[in-house]
Amino acid sequence: MRQAEEVRDRRREPSPQGRPGLLVGGLVVAVAALALVAAASVALGARSVPLSTVVAALTAPDGSTDHTVIRELRVPRTLLGIGVGAALGLAGALMQGLTRNALADPGLLGVNEGAALGVALALGLFGVSDPAGYVWFAFGGAALAAVAVHGLAAAGRSGSGPVRLTLAGVALGMVFTAVASAILRMDAETFDRMRFWLTGSLAGQTPGTLARLAPFMAAGLALGLLLARPLNLLSMGDDTGRALGLSVGRTRALTGVAITLLCGSATAAAGPLWFVGLIVPHAVRGVVGGDQRWVLPYSAVAAPVLLLGADVAGRLVARPGEVQVGIVWAVIGAPIFILLARRRRVAAL
Amino acid sequence: MTVRLGPWSVRLAPRALLVCAALALAGCTVAVAAVATGEYTLPVRDVLAALTGDGTPAADLVVSRLRAPRVVTGLLVGAAFGVSGAIFQSLTRNPLGSPDFIGFTAGASTGGILAVVAGGSAMTIAGGALAGCVTTAALVYALAFRGGVAGHRLVLVGIGVNALLLAVNSYLLTRANINDAATAGAWLTGSLSGRGWDHAVPVAVALAVLLPVAAVAARPLRMIEMGDDAARAAGVRVEAVRAAAVAAGVLLSGTATAAAGPVVFVALAAPQVARRLTRSPGVTLGASALVGAVLLTGADLAAQRLLAPTQLPVGVLTAGIGGAYLALLLRKERH
């Protein structure tokens, strides 16, 4: 199936390397779209402000309510959305490349829930409230979840690959979520602060959070983008990859590290989000083909566009309240996932 | 070993029978322990006397009005979850196939929360849960149907629907007023506290009707596990059997959820524990029902006593059981 897909992709778009100009242009368009959505995210919300005020707030703040809202709430939230979106989009693309499984997604496979359990442990049991401190717990949880899901999927004796992996991820994710919410519930004050985070939300983070988490996200993004070429080789199969000079074990390990960094920091910032990492790389592959050198950067740019768009939509549909971005994404993402599950012969992928 | 009686014959495995007898004994022991102990401890003699109808008035009140309904509800709900899980693990050919993960439990929760928000009584909540479960199952089945329902498609579509419903549930909870949210939250963890006979009776009826259906479907289900084509070649009407099995499994988990709330992971763990105990090649319905009953009443007893006087909801303990079970699955079958 994968080969058939690649053959089809190649037929439709004769070798992506042949037209890098077009693909670079597309990337520029995607970045422009991101800038547009970011502007909307800063301007729109329970209290919408005109763009001129936004510019004034950023260049010459006068301390008015609008300017404070923009500088203290909207801008950090938008930057957080860009970081989290890029991290999850890239993590999803990396996971799909690593597992050669079209249904891989950090939320679906339990990795984000593992990270959330780590954060819950840090906050609830160890009293670590600094984001730069509890992000390490998130990394631990994410890595543990990734290893456990792989082990569980390999343990089952029958059924098909993607289904097995997905079921294992969902099962583990539910255990992690149950334990995390039990831990957070022990302290009413912590639970009240974190319950929206637990459903996936960009709101409610202090401006400092992003600054504390940004280095980890940046490291994960850089490492992930550097892995495009080895992952291309890996997609041909372990043996072919090895014959072409690829160190299979090292590629797997580095990809695992990148996924852990990305999922851990994204979840520490915005809670366990589903489907961002599933749907964006899918859509991207439909446009640019199977070459990871394009899939990875495109996913990293396109995902924040969609994440911020969903966040803005969640703010606008329920004014003056808001719907958490995790809920908006599940409502958009689940039907697409069902379509993918129905349409493609995933079992044979 | 085969027992023949006229035109009917039943294959019996001696080990499975022994295990079932032991499980039934364990269930009775846990049940008696749960009825006898608590804030007001009764000697086993008084418990038995009260159960047969000639105990002291005090013992009678505690046993037949307060504790026995809870224990009986626990046994029945556990059995229903066990059978339901066995059916779905057989259908999906996967030890992780469980109504908890493919949307049915989440659908029951949605129905229950809606009933809470609408200001329903305990019975309305139960009805809402059952309706939610059945509606969700019909939706998943319809979405997964493409000239037949292959097990893997049922699982994937169910996982998608599950994600959607979990989001809907958390949205409803954030929108509900604080009292409704607290009521719904308590129900959502799954609990057996305060259950009366009116909770136990629907589950008993469901088991009485659906267990025979499941038992008849058990053998063709085993054939389907070998693949649709092989089963068809052996004369099994694959889609009809599958539809009947799904219906039985859904109704069992729906009524069980209606009675006790969405207690997760019992349906997941019970069939596999039963399979290992009986050393049978596939999942077994009878043993799964017994393991489910023992697991749930045992977990409920532990939830009441572990941190006494604090009463944990049984759902917290079964989540722990689920985690332990997954870890076991991971360790045991790794080679």
Reduced 3-state DSSP string for chain A: CHHHHHHHHHHHCCCHHHCHHHHHHHHHHHHHHHHHHHHHHHHCCCCCCCHHHHHHHHHCCCCCHHHHHHHHHHHHHHHHHHHHHHHHHHHHHHHHHHHCCCCCCCCCCCHHHHHHHHHHHHHHCCCCCCHHHHHHHHHHHHHHHHHHHHHHHHHCCCCCHHHHHHHHHHHHHHHHHHHHHHHHHCCHHHHHHHHHHHHCCCCCCCHHHHHHHHHHHHHHHHHHHHCHHHHHHHCCCHHHHHHCCCCHHHHHHHHHHHHHHHHHHHHHHHCCCCCHHHHHHHHHHHHHCCCHHHHHHHHHHHHHHHHHHHHHHHHHHCCCCCCCHHHHHHHHHHHHHHHHHHHCCHHHC
Mean of the per-residue pLDDT values of chain B: 83
* Closest chain B residue by Cα to residue A199: B170
Fold of A2-6+39-348: ABC transporter involved in vitamin B12 uptake, BtuC (1.10.3470)
On chain A, the residues whose CB falls within 8 A of the CB of B332 are 155
What's the gap in Å between the CA of A156 and the closest CA on chain B?
A: 7
Give me the residue spans of the domains in chain A: 2-6+39-348
**Residue tagged 């070649």 (tokens):** B233
Which two three-digit tokens encode residue A63? Answer: 């301390």
Check CB contact under 8 Å for A171 and B268.
yes
Q: Which residues of A touch B330 (CB under 8 A)?
A: 148, 151-152, 155
Q: Chains A and B: how many Cβ contacts under 8 Å?
A: 133
Q: Does A24 touch chain B (CB under 8 A)?
A: no
Predicted confidence at residue A11, as pLDDT, reads 43
Q: What is the pLDDT of residue A344?
A: 57
Does residue B269 sit at the A interface (CB-CB below 8 Å)? no
Question: What is the helix (H) or strand (E) element at residue B138, kind and residue range?
Answer: helix B122-144
Q: Quick one: closest CA in B to A331, which residue? A: B164
pLDDT tens-place string over residues A35-79 = 999 988 888 877 778 888 888 888 877 878 888 888 888 888 899
ipTM: 0.81
Structure tokens at B165: 């419903």
User: Any chain A CB within 8 A of the CB of B144?
Assistant: yes
Q: What is the pLDDT of residues B279-293, one digit of tens each?
A: 877 778 889 999 999
Q: Do A175 and B319 touch (CB under 8 A)?
A: yes
Rounded Cα distance between B234 and B220, Å, is 9
Topology classification of domain B10-332: ABC transporter involved in vitamin B12 uptake, BtuC (1.10.3470)
- Closest alpha carbon within chain B to A167: B96
Residue A7, pLDDT > 50, answer: no
- Between A87-101, A213-227, B109-123, the lowest mean confidence (pLDDT) is in B109-123
- pLDDT at A9 > cutoff 50: no
> Which pLDDT score is estimated for B331?
65
pLDDT in tens, A91-144: 999 998 888 777 888 988 889 999 999 999 998 888 888 888 889 999 999 999
Model confidence over B226-261: pLDDT tens digits?
888 888 888 888 888 888 888 999 999 999 988 888
Contacts of A347 in chain B (CB under 8 A): 150, 152
**Cβ of residue A114 closer than 8 Å to a chain B Cβ:** no
Average pLDDT over every residue of B132-140: 92
| Burial class of residue A313, CB neighbours in 10 A (0-12, 13-18, 19+) | middle
Residue A256: which of A109, A126, A125 has the closest Cα?
A109
CB pair distance less than 8 Å for A166 and B156: yes
Q: Rounded distance, CA A116 to CA A174, Å?
A: 11
Neighbours of B239 (CB within 10 A): 15
| pLDDT > 70: percent of chain A | 91
Question: What are the angstrom distances between the C-alpha of A33 and each of A40, A87, A302?
Answer: 11, 18, 9
A211 at interface of B, judged by CB pairs closer than 8 A: no
**Element (DSSP H or E) covering residue B270:** helix B266-278
Closest chain B residue to the Cα of A157, Cα to Cα: B94
pLDDT in tens, B174-218: 787 777 877 787 778 777 877 888 888 888 999 999 988 888 888
Which candidate, A333, A300, A331, places its Cα nearest to that of A314?
A331
Inter-chain touch B146–A342, beta carbons under 8 Å: yes
Question: For B314-333, what is each residue's pLDDT tens digit?
Answer: 777 888 888 887 777 766 65
Pick from B159, B265, B330: CB nearest A151? B330
Residue A155 confidence (pLDDT)? 62
Give the number of other CB atoms < 10 A from CB of residue B1.
8
User: Does B95 touch chain A if contact means CB atoms closer than 8 Å?
Assistant: yes
Across A142-146, B124-128, B150-154, least confident range = B150-154
Under a CB-based contact definition with an 8 Å cutoff, are residues B297 and B73 in contact? Answer: no
Cα–Cα distance for residue pair A238/A258, rounded to 1 Å: 20
pTM: 0.83
To the nearest whole Å, the CA of A345 is away from the closest chain B CA by 9
Other residues' Cβ atoms within 10 Å of the Cβ of residue A152: 25
pLDDT of B291: 93
Optimal mutation site among A194, A195, A342, interface B, most CBs of chain B within 10 A? A342
CA gap B91, B85 in Å, rounded: 10
Task: State whether B163 and A334 contact (CB < 8 Å).
Answer: yes
